[in-house]
Structure 1
C-alpha cells in the first residue's frame, strides 16, 4: 500500500470506503487502488455496515493490510465514513470512495497535484459510467429557481443555464480545471485541513445530501470543490430512480438540507418547486416520483430522519 511518493513527500492519503453487501463490486475497487494510487503513500480503511454477504471477509482476504471496521449496523454513508476515519492511521488527505468506483492509473497523483496547486479543499476526478458515457458529477448550490428549472425543463436541459440548473452539464466545464459548489460523493479527495475544519459528516443524512452538506459547509469555510479533468475514474453504480423508496429518501433529504440553510418562506418555495417536479413526473406515470410526492405532502415525513424501509436496507453507493 505504501510506495515512494511522487507528489508531496509528506503526504499520506487515508482511503475511506463504506460498504454494505458490496462483495460483488468491492474486488474491482481494490484491484484499481494500486495503479490508481501509484506513487503515493496511502492506507485503506473500510467501514462495513453489517453486510450479510461476507464483504468484510472479502476485503480481508484480498487486502490483508487494510483496516476493516465492522460497525454492527447499517447506519448510513456518513456514519460509515466517520467510523472509518476514527479507526484510520494518521493522514494528510482523505480519499472517500464508493465501492463501485474504479480508479484509472495515476488518478490519485493527479488529484493530489491539483490539491497542492490550488490550496486546501476538495478535488474530484472526471467520472464516466461503465458504458463510457460521462457522469455529470459537478453541482451548483440548490436554489428555488434551480428547482423550478429542473421541474419545468428537466435536469439536463436546465443544467445548461447556471441560474436554472443544479447539475452542471456544459461539456467544456469538464474539460478544464473548474470549480463547483459541490460534487457527487462517489470519489472525493479532501485536504487534511478541510477535513479538520468541517468534519464529521452529518449522520442524520442516511444517504443522499450528505456530500452536499459537507461540501457546502466546506465552501462556506473557504474550502472549494474543484475538478481535476485529467484524473479519471469509472462508476459502475446504479440509478436511485430505479427504486421508489430511494428516490423518496433523496427528495426528502434535499428539502431537509435546504431548510437547514434557509428561512421558512424560502424553504416553502423550495418545497413547492420540488413538489411540482415530482407531481409532474408522477402524472406521466413515474412510480418513483409518485412515492416522493406522496411523502412531500405529508408534513411529518420532513421531521423524520429518512432511512431505508426495514425490509429493504439500501446498499451504499446509489447515485442521483
Structure 2
C-alpha cells in the first residue's frame, strides 16, 4: 500500500470525472500515491465510465448516497494509507500539487492536516471561496479565509504565498494523516455536507495538532458544482451545521454566551430574508434551527465525549473579534486588513 491515498467522492458526477479526473491522474504519478474513487451509489454512468476509461483505478462502491461526510468515512475505513487526500470531484490539480504537502507530512510529524492554495477554476486570477489560501474562524463561529472574507474574494497576486498555520483546511482538497483522522472520529456524518471539515479541524486543533496551508501546492476548484452557493438547501446546511460546530467544540468558559449570540444573529439574518421577500431563505434558517433543536440531545452527547479529550483550548488562529462587524462596519474587506 502506498503512502498517500487520493480519494475522490463521486455521486452522479460522470461529467465532472470526465473533465477533472485526467488532471489528477496525469499530475499524481508518484510511486507513493494511489488514486481511489469512492462512489455514493450513483445512478448515472459513473461506474461504467471509470471501468472503461480508468480500469486500473480502485473504485469503492458504496451501497447508497451517504453524503459527503459519511461517504468519506465509509470509504476511508477501507484504506490503510498513511495519509489521505480528500479531493472534490470538481478540482483540477497542477503538476506539483502533491509533493510540497507530502514532504511536510514526512518531515514535520506535528502537522496533522493541510491544504493547498485553492483558486477559482472559472476565474483563475482569483482565490476560490471554499478555502482560498487557508481557513480561519472568528469567535462567533463565522468562517473566512486568507483571500476570502464573506463574499469578498481577492485576486491572487502572490500576497498569501507563505506557508502558515491555519484554523481549518478546506474539504475541497484536504490532506490529513490517516491516524489523526481515525483517532479524532473522522467527519461527523450528522453534518451530511458543509462545515464538516471545520468541525474535524477544530477537534484536531483541540487535541494539540497543527494544520497548515501550503501555497507551493495549487489546485483549481469549480465550487458549487454539487450544490449551488445560492441554494436554500445550502443555506439550511450552513446555518444548522454552524450550530452543531459551536455546540460540539466551544470551550466551557464561553459556551453559552457565544451560542446565544449566534442564535440572535441567526434571528436577525432570518428577519432580513423575510423583509426582503426571500421566503425560501427565511424558511431555510427557520428549518435549520428546528433541525438543530431536534438533534440537541445527540449533539450534547458528542460534546460530553469530546470535552475530556481537549488538550489545547486557545488557538492563535481563531480571530477573537467579529468578522461580521469588521466587514460591514469597519470595511475590512481583505485578510491583510485583519490583525490577529
Asked if 1:280 corresponds to 2:268, the answer is no
Which residue, 175, 187, 194 being the options, matches 2:161? Answer: 175
**Alignment partner of 1:41 is 2:37:** no
Question: Map of 1:99-178 to 2, 5 A cutoff?
Answer: 99-119=89-109, 120-130=111-121, 131-132=123-124, 133-136=126-129, 137=131, 138-144=134-140, 147=142, 174-178=160-164
CA gap of 1:304–1:222, structure 2 versus 1, over 3 A, is same
1:289 is aligned to 2:281:
yes
Measured at CA, do residues 13 and 270 of structure 1 come closer, stay the same or move farther in structure 2, by a change above 3 Å?
same
Residue 229 of structure 1 corresponds to which residue in structure 2? 215
RMSD, aligned CA? 3.0
Indicate yes or no: 2:229 matched with 1:241.
yes
Matched residue, 1:194: 180
| Structure-1 residue corresponding to 2:43 | 52
- Separation in 1, partners of 2:106, 2:91: 23
Residue 77 of structure 2, aligned match among 73, 86, 90: 86
Query: What is the distance in 2 between the residues matched to 1:139 and 1:38?
Result: 28
Q: Which moved more, 1:250-259 or 1:171-180?
A: 171-180
C-alpha deviation, 1:41, in angstroms = 1.6
Return the alpha-carbon distance in structure 1 between the equivalents of residues 127 and 84 of structure 2. 24
Q: Which runs of 5+ in 2 are unaligned?
A: 296-340
- 2:85 aligned residue (85, 95, 115): 95
| Residue range with higher mean Cα deviation, 131-140 or 191-200 | 191-200
Q: Which moved more, 1:251-260 or 1:192-201?
A: 192-201
Take 1:157 and 1:174, find their aligned partners in 2: how far apart are those partners?
A: 7
Name the residue aligned to 1:74.
65
Distance 1:159 1:26, change over 3 A: closer
C-alpha distance in 1 between matches for 2:232 and 2:39: 25
Q: Deviations over 1:88-112 (max 9, x none)?
A: 3x31111110111111111011221
1:257 to 245, 266, 285: 245
**Cα displacement (A) at 1:69:** 2.1
Using the alignment, how far apart are the partners of 1:233 and 1:25 within structure 2?
A: 15
Distance 1:272 1:22, change over 3 A: same
Q: Distance in 2 between the 1:158 and 1:237 partners?
A: 15
From the superposition, tell whether residues 166 and 118 of structure 1 become closer, same or farther in structure 2 (CA, over 3 Å): farther
Structure 1 moving runs of 4+ over 4 Å? 155-160, 165-173, 285-288
1:209 aligns with 195
TM normalised by structure 1 equals: 0.77
Which residue of 1 is the match for residue 332 of structure 2?
none
* Deviation at residue 57 of structure 1 after TM alignment: 2.2
Residue 240 of structure 1 and its aligned partner are, at CA, apart by 3.9
Tell me, what secondary structure is at the counterpart of 1:105? coil
Report the number of matched residues.
282
Query: Unaligned 5+ residue runs, structure 1?
Result: 3-10, 306-320
